[in-house]
């Protein structure tokens, strides 16, 4: 009789195997979830860093433009000066159009 008690049936082995498999799958899912959260945090931090770097570069560019302006623009920042071409340049452009069509 002692021999019969120590015998493990196939059903018992399958039940143990299924339990172990479920446990293994749950542990893997937990690890993947933690890795996803970490990678998501890294991506968010990269986006914040890029946004901050863009703001810094934009402010640098604006300051370079401000300090590089001439005296007239610094004195009258709201006035707009429109540069027009002389009449003879427009005449030359029209002649070029006429003679290059043929």
Q: What is the per-residue pLDDT for 5?
A: 65
Q: What is the per-residue pLDDT for 4?
A: 56
Q: For 82, phi and psi rounded to 5 degrees?
A: -100, 120
Q: Could you read off the pLDDT of 45-58 as tens digits, one per residue?
A: 889 999 999 999 99
Domain range holding 13? Answer: 2-101
Count of structural domains, the chain? 1
Q: Could you read off the pLDDT of 28-81 as tens digits, one per residue?
A: 888 887 777 777 788 888 899 999 999 999 998 888 877 776 677 777 778 777
Is-above-0.85 flag for pTM? no
Kindly compute the dihedral angle of the four CA atoms of residues 89, 94, 98, 99, in this order, to the nearest 10 degrees. 0
Residue 1 pLDDT exceeds 50: no
């Amino acid at each position: 009789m002692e021999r019969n008690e120590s015998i493990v049936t196939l059903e018992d082995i399958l039940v143990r195997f299924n339990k172990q498999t479920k446990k293994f799958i749950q542990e893997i899912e937990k690890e993947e979830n933690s890795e996803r959260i970490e990678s998501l945090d890294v991506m968010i931090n990269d986006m914040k860093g890029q946004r901050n770097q863009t703001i810094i570069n934009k402010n640098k560019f604006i300051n370079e433009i401000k300090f590089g302006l001439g005296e007239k623009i610094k004195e009258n920042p709201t006035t707009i000066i429109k540069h027009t071409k002389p009449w003879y340049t427009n005449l030359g452009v029209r002649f070029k159009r006429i003679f290059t069509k043929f």
